[in-house]
Amino acid sequence: MTVEAFAPAKINLTLHVTGQRDDGYHLLDSLVVFVDVGDVITVEKADETRLMVTGPMARGVPTDNSNLVVQAANLLGVKAQITLEKNLPSAAGIGGGSSDAAATLRALAALYDMPLPSPQAVMSLGADVPVCMGSGLLRMRGVGEQVDQLGVGADWPMILINPRVAVSTPSVFKALPCKDNSEMPVGLPDWLDWNASATWLASLRNDLESPAISVQPVISDVLGALRISEGCMFARMSGSGATCFGLYNSVRVRDRALSQLRQNHPHWWAAATRQYT
């Protein structure tokens, strides 16, 4: 018996850094959605846990205990043969490793007919893992342990672009000049009104965007290319980068913009996507 689970890319529509604890962990306030491009986890029972990585982004991905997928199996206390089909770039600000870990937990829990661990338990795998256990539109606060479900959000046609550079999250936080910024407002827009919700998102921030650009200036080029592309309503960097996203007013316009972006920047990783629910 094998069980398969999808590990969708996580997009931070907003990311406000609101403080830093005495232990060094940063406090965040972030609006998160998941999209329908991602990695795939397949598991089957085995005498020992082994990880095999395949897919277009497999190169350089560790298969030992440093991989969160293996750590997720260890957390559940089970053994499995795990295959990770890696389709997302690594160190890209879209929660790839955390989403892989969450998908592994879901798959192994189904395989062994056991309950999923608590959010507090999965925090040991990383601050993004609790939110990656959810779906739809989510608000993530604290160091990642506070996750609130906010409905389904808006199903914008979207483009993701990564310029194929890895970004060190600690380096980005180190470059952040102010670590005590304002939280997001309480009220949310009408997600069915795409123009109003795009305007609302534009009034908020990703506090890590400017620091990430200082670490990898090509991120500014990606944002510029998205913002001038046909039909782009809004563009921002996700997480600590370097992946950026653009929201579009129709699938047809998005696909035309993607074709032009790929023609202009053939070495960038680019994907057309929509919200995954």
Active site members: 10, 128
Bridge partners, residue 16, by sequence: 29
Cα–Cα distance, 220 to 213 (Å, whole number): 6
